[in-house]
Amino acid sequence: MGRLSRLTSIAFLTAACVFDGHPDLREDYWEHDLEFLPLRTACRAHGIELHATVWDDPSLDPDAFEAIVIGTTWDYPERPEAFLATLERLAARVPLFNPLPVVTWNLRKTYLKDLAAKGAPVVRTLWCERADTATIAAAFDELESDEIIVKPEVGASAWRQARVRRGMALPPASALPPGRTMIQPFLPAVISEGELSFIFFGSVFSHCARKMPSVGDYRVQSMYGGRECVHEPSVRELDLAKSVIAAVGETLLYARVDMLRDPSGGLVLLELELIEPYFYPEQGAGMGDAFAAALQRLLG
């Protein structure tokens, strides 16, 4: 680590589709700048220079950097194998944050099984080979729910995800998961209260955002009209989020714990985001400094 501490140049991996002018510009492209700019400013104050670097750019040279941070790589679910192959190539040369084993584990939502085995309050989930008519029909009875959420095992930003009601026609195949699938009961609290996202840097709590969907939708992402506000978690809520982080058992640069209240009133874990979570910078005034300090500690 002595060699690394003398260097300051850090690659912040991102996606080409978040830059204005890209032919497939994401609807939430502006969130990249909203997150990256305060991170870059704070890192400069800590003697670190962040460089926004497209992850699948063939010219990406890991030896040009001290370390690499996985940032706003929001298009990776469409090409997970290529994404992992790139990360393996980069991690073989310089430190990668979060570490490659953590990323590989977190890439597939099956990590929820491991967390549940360690006592995390994971929302009840069915794991299926595909999202076909028979599988979805059986899920209503197995989950004892008249509304379910069908998600791909590898996905982000509600990509190829669907809310399905018993007795209603299924969405077209192009709107359903393309392969292995997870199915969960629909929890009405996402509409009445919203989803809670607890942000951690270096396993230290930074801030929490409450995410609400737009009227008539259940998806909380901004591209679907979702909005956020600050949530001040109770001691019990924060302890629960911390217990999820502790269950990972690894040193992390960042983590986001997404939770939702179930019908009994308790919080359940929807996802633990360790690869490219949006940090909700507008709800975290000290986010940049917390990120920079955690990165500096990891660099040594």
- Domain at 126-185: CATH architecture: 2-Layer Sandwich (3.30)
pLDDT, mean of residues 275-279: 95
Burial of 129 (0-12, 13-18, 19+ CB in 10 A): exposed
pLDDT digits (tens, 9 = 90+) for 134-183: 888 888 888 888 888 888 888 766 677 788 888 787 777 777 877 788 89
- 2-104: CATH, from 3.40.50, 2.60.40, 3.30.70, 1.10.540: 3.40.50
pLDDT digits (tens, 9 = 90+) for 227-254: 999 999 999 999 999 999 999 988 899 9
Residue 185: both structure tokens together: 């009961």
pLDDT digits (tens, 9 = 90+) for 63-121: 999 999 999 999 998 899 999 999 999 999 999 999 999 999 999 999 999 999 999 99
Could you give the CA distance from residue 262 to residue 104 in angstroms, rounded to a whole number?
Answer: 29
- Let me know: does 69 contact 295? Beta carbons within 8 Å: yes
The H or E element spanning position 247 is helix 235-248
- Let me know: does 89 contact 61? Beta carbons within 8 Å: no
The confidence band for 132, taking pLDDT boundaries of 50, 70 and 90, is confident
Please provide residue 53's backbone torsions phi and psi, each rounded to the nearest 5 degrees. -135, 125
Domain boundary assignment for the chain: 2-104, 126-185
